[in-house]
Amino acid sequence: MESEEREATGVTRSQNVIHVAPHDAAAIALFLTPALERIDESSAATQLLIITPDSETAVAVSAASHPMVAERPVDVVPLTNLARAARTFRTRHARAVAGTPETVLTLLQGSTLKLDQLNTVILAWIDDAPDAGFAAALESVMGEVQKGAARVLVVSRLTPEAEALAERYVRRARRVEPAQAEARATPIHYVTVSTSSRSEALRRVLDTLDPLKATIFVRSEESELQVRQALRALGYGGDDDSVEVTRGAARSDATLIVLYELPANPQELRTLIGESLARKQVVALARPRQLALVRELAAGGGITPIPLSGAVGDARGREESMRNEIRAALVSGAPSRELLALEPLLSDYDGIEIAAAALYLLDRTRETAAAARGAYKEGQARTGAGAGAVASGWTNIFITVGSRDGLQPGDIVGAILNESGIAREHVGKVDIREGFSLVQIASSDVQTVVNAVNGKMIKGRPAVVRTEREPGAERERGERPAGGPRSGGGGRPDRGPGRGPPRDRGDRPPSRDRPPSRDSYPARGGGDRPSGRDSYPKRGPDRGGSSGSDR
């Protein structure tokens, strides 16, 4: 039967193949089953390599392989940890492995993994590869694959990036893609999830929207089992038929359709929804890398994130200007690097909660910078106080970082607030000099600030922080603060370069090149030392030394 299906699609075992399928568990069987059938159980060598965009996909491929192999010893080993992978190759036969190109390349370079008997390599949904490092590692791994090995490329959409991958690694390949049908514009709401948080997201969708009648769409038996377990945990079941799980068409009276897994194409979505969109809301549970597919399924109907309960209330209270900034960034195109960097957080938090945390951090940074600018302007506007004068209740602290280090008022105020935790109003005037800075701190918090900030890095330099002994007095006396920096060769910077305080140089040994001292001159006539100015030898007209008669 399986051979008849492959003949019907024009695909045979030995051919290179391109599959167009959504990034979900149901699509894994499409490309993995023929590859597993080609594995020779009598050989312990690695015969199947599945390259995935991330470790999560590798684990999903491994989990989906279990019912396919039944009792055969050909489980797919996910390469999610290098140390564990090395132990696996020493203790068991890894006939099929799945992992990112970076992990595979490291194992190849250490001779832990060998591909000399590889018969199939599958590139599973790598068209959304995040960066140049991924592409370079993929190039190196594919260079180790023998020419005779069958190559399979799986993509969610036939984008220019997917076409470029096909041209480079899977030439003259047969294409297996669903039949194209007339698309219908369908507005879709979505919630960003990870594979492990999908069930929790479903619960929150049902709690937030509380539909009278709902249909949940799945494409695999494993997903159907997860959904039914989640529904039982929520109290659905028995005589309660308000929520159904389906792999085909939705119930006609459904007011909510939840796409637990995404349909393979717009035609499948249209079959699910039916001919009428009236009084039906469609919500997709999608991973960040699947948002492009969600937009394609909408077919111009638009996609909109749906806020769930929890931390959403705080996010709704953000200023409109902040929302406009975010809208502008999204209109210009979702930044793929940032999406992939935040994706691991989705296993523990909802997407809207992550966005709210990012907004909070951004707001705090902006407030700190604005407060520092205000404090600096306030200090500049003060009159009737000298540079070292301190208002009542304030104490100056001395910090060994200044303008030549690129220091700005916001840098120093931010460091003090972040390290010490004191209130912003307890930081006063900030006076930045070339080699050091003076900051007014509420007297009650001075020791806290000194202990917290001393030795910490400010603008890439470890800062020495201490209180001034007598605020303002040191500059009036022209003394350099103990432990403070020298500027221009010595002394305090405001004394000017090269003018340090006098030092007792002590006795120094005589030097041959040093001119003789007064005591060393002989007295005229061999008497005692000269007693007056006129008794010293006179210089000649050239001012270069004594006259010839004096010598």
Which class is 2-176 in CATH?
alpha beta
Domain 188-309 sits in CATH at 3.40.50.300
Model-level pTM? 0.48
Across the range 377-400, mean pLDDT stands at 60
- 264-296 pLDDT, tens digit per residue, is 888 888 889 987 888 889 999 988 878 888 988
For 66-70, 84-88, 237-241, 259-263, which range has the lowest pLDDT when averaged over its residues? 237-241
Q: Check residue 351 and give its pLDDT.
A: 75
Which sequence spans correspond to the domains of the chain? 2-176, 188-309, 311-381, 383-495
**Encoding tokens for residue 172?**
């003259």
Give the residue from 121, 68, 71, 67 showing the smallest Cα distance to 98. 121
- 473-501 pLDDT, tens digit per residue, is 344 334 444 444 444 444 444 444 444 45
* 2-176 and 188-309: identical CATH topology: yes
Q: Check residue 121 and give its pLDDT.
A: 96
CA dihedral of 352, 353, 357, 362, whole degrees rounded to 10: 10
Distances (CA, A) of 387 to 195, 378, 391, 466: 61, 14, 11, 18
Please provide the distance, in angstroms rounded to a whole number, between the alpha carbons at the two ends of the chain.
Answer: 125
Amino acid of residue 312: V
Beta-strand (E) ranges in 219-368? 243-246, 256-259, 281-286, 303-305
Confidence of residue 138 (pLDDT cuts 50, 70, 90): very high
* Percent of the chain whose pLDDT exceeds 70: 71
The angle that helices 291-298 and 266-273 make with each other, rounded to 10 degrees, is 60
d(CA 71, CA 67): 9
The answer to whether the beta carbons of residues 316 and 323 sit under 8 Å apart is: no
Q: Check residue 375 and give its pLDDT.
A: 57
Q: Check residue 268 and give its pLDDT.
A: 85
**Encoding tokens for residue 214?**
């709902």
State the fold for domain 383-495: Alpha-Beta Plaits (3.30.70)
Whether residue 125 is predicted with pLDDT greater than 80 in this model: the reply is yes
Whether residue 511 is predicted with pLDDT greater than 80 in this model: the reply is no
d(CA 128, CA 292): 10
